[in-house]
Amino acid sequence: MTTAPAALTNTHPALRRCWHPVARSAEVADRPVRTMLLGEPWVLARLGPGGAVQAFPDRCPHRLAPLSIGSVGSAPDGTTVLRCAYHGWCFDAAGRCVELPALGPGATIPPKARLAPAHAVVERHGMVFLAPTAPLAQCATLPAIPEADDPSFTAGDLPPMRARAGAGFLADNFLDMGHFPFVHAATFGAEDPVVPPLSVSRDGLSFTAQSEHDFCNREDPAVAAGTRPLVQRRRVTYRVHAPFHLVLRLDFLDAGGTNVIGFFLQPETDDSCRVYSTIWRDDLGHDPTRMEGAVAFEVRVVQEDLDLQDHFDVHALPLDPTAEVHTRADRSTLELRRMLADLVAAAAHG
């Protein structure tokens, strides 16, 4: 019988075997960018073919200066390089040192004068994702978001937000419907605190939770016009992929239209996370003004959650199911703990 690990911190070694968001693509332009992941500093720079992003530990092997304070430019042979600000050492997309100014042209470069690149870096959905080491087989590829490639949907990016919180607790918060009437009373919180039953389906290190239920659709213009009732049907579908890749799809069955919310977490240090969120809507008529309003609303919602999380004095998510009291309203968040416990166990066994 496998014993569940006690808790998952933001720097747990198992998280190195997964993909993590580390920046918005637009943040990585013509200069190197520093980012923190799992308690370690990384530098991002566009060095690869076509401006592909590369990632390396943010320390020059010479005197350990942060490479993120350097620059991106060209070596004498035209290679795009990351140049250290301290002594001008230049590194190519593979991490090889290709220029060492203090020794002059043609000098022999020490074999150890190289950077160890991240296992892999990809850009997807307007974000840069980094895998520090080879991901576990069940986390090898980033999950698809079909709505992101559907031309009937319009995307709206929230600005990245930082939280003094554990990534596990932030993921728990996103999945938890029981807090809506209390934390989100000023935005969308409903009067009825009863959480509808959720069906949960597990697939390796991913799961889906779904519910179809009545709700008060105060945003439907037809309600104000008196042509549709206030109480309508809605389908809620959560798609969760280890460790912290979460997507919520809301299908409005009476009013029509779909709202998809992506929630992607970057565990920076043991008490800090960066939060990326994107919404995809097919009910705004591709109107940029309406999307701007929808994004502003979602920022308010996320900020309500972050304000609450800021008061937590525990940031490591308990994975032992006996460490907290659970009820049937916690089915999706309990499944999150089980999935993450399986992630830790899989990483421990190679």
Q: By the 8 A CB rule, do 217 and 223 touch?
A: yes
Q: At which of 131, 159, 175 does a domain end?
A: 131
**Domain co-membership, 330 together with 231:** yes
Q: Give the pLDDT of residue 62.
A: 97
Query: Does any domain span residue 192?
Result: yes
**Domain co-membership, 116 together with 183:** no
Number of folded domains that form the chain: 2
Q: Give the pLDDT of residue 3.
A: 54
Cα distances from 57 to residues 3, 33, 39, 348, in angstroms, run: 33, 11, 11, 24
Query: Does any domain span residue 6?
Result: no
Is residue 240 over pLDDT 90?
Answer: yes
Query: Does any domain span residue 295?
Result: yes
Cα distances from 59 to residues 28, 65, 128, in angstroms, run: 18, 5, 20
Query: Does any domain span residue 9?
Result: no
Q: What string of DSSP letters covers 136-168?
A: PGGGSSPPP-GGGG-TT-EEEEPPPEEESS-HH
Q: Give the pLDDT of residue 219.
A: 79
Is residue 350 over pLDDT 80?
Answer: no
Strands 258-269, 53-57: pairing is: unpaired
Q: At which of 108, 131, 154 does a domain end?
A: 131
Query: Does any domain span residue 3?
Result: no
**Domain co-membership, 160 together with 211:** yes
Q: Give the pLDDT of residue 191.
A: 67
Residue 58 belongs to a domain with what CATH number? 2.102.10.10
pLDDT tens digits for 247-297?
999 999 999 999 999 999 999 999 999 999 999 999 999 999 999 999 999
pTM score: 0.94
Query: Does any domain span residue 288?
Result: yes
CA 201 to chain CA mean position, Å: 22
pLDDT band at 1 (very low <50, low <70, confident <90, very high): very low
**Domain co-membership, 172 together with 246:** yes
**Domain co-membership, 60 together with 192:** no
Q: At which of 131, 160, 185 does a domain end?
A: 131
- Report which of 281, 302, 299 is spatially closest to residue 291, judged by C-alpha positions: 281
Q: Give the pLDDT of residue 160.
A: 98
**Domain co-membership, 188 together with 234:** yes
**Domain co-membership, 179 together with 45:** no
**Domain co-membership, 208 together with 338:** yes
Query: Does any domain span residue 316?
Result: yes
**Residue range of the domain that includes 162:** 143-348
Bridge partners for 154 per DSSP: 281
pLDDT tens digits for 152-188?
999 999 999 999 999 999 999 999 999 999 999 898 8
Which H or E run includes 100?
none
Q: Give the pLDDT of residue 4.
A: 52
Structure-token match 């580390």, residue found: 22
Query: Does any domain span residue 33?
Result: yes
**Domain co-membership, 273 together with 218:** yes
pLDDT tens digits for 5-18?
689 999 999 999 99
Residue 339, CB-side half-sphere exposure with 13 Å CA sphere: 29
Structure-token match 């807090």, residue found: 179
- The rounded distance, in Å, linking the Cα atoms of 210 and 196 is 10
Indicate the burial class of 271 (C-beta count within 10 angstroms; 0-12, 13-18, 19 or more): middle
How many degrees, rounded to 5, is the angle at CA 341 between CA 122 and CA 11?
55
Secondary structure E strands in the chain: 7-8, 20-24, 33-37, 40-46, 53-57, 71-74, 80-83, 90-91, 97-99, 120-124, 127-131, 154-157, 161-163, 199-203, 206-216, 231-241, 245-252, 258-269, 272-281, 317-318
Q: Give the pLDDT of residue 168.
A: 98
**Domain co-membership, 106 together with 193:** no
Residue 297 belongs to a domain with what CATH number? 3.90.380.10
Structure tokens at 192: 């009825």
**Domain co-membership, 177 together with 319:** yes
Q: 215 versus 33: which is more confidently predicted?
A: 33
Its sign, for the CA torsion 341, 343, 38, 305, is: negative
**Domain co-membership, 51 together with 167:** no
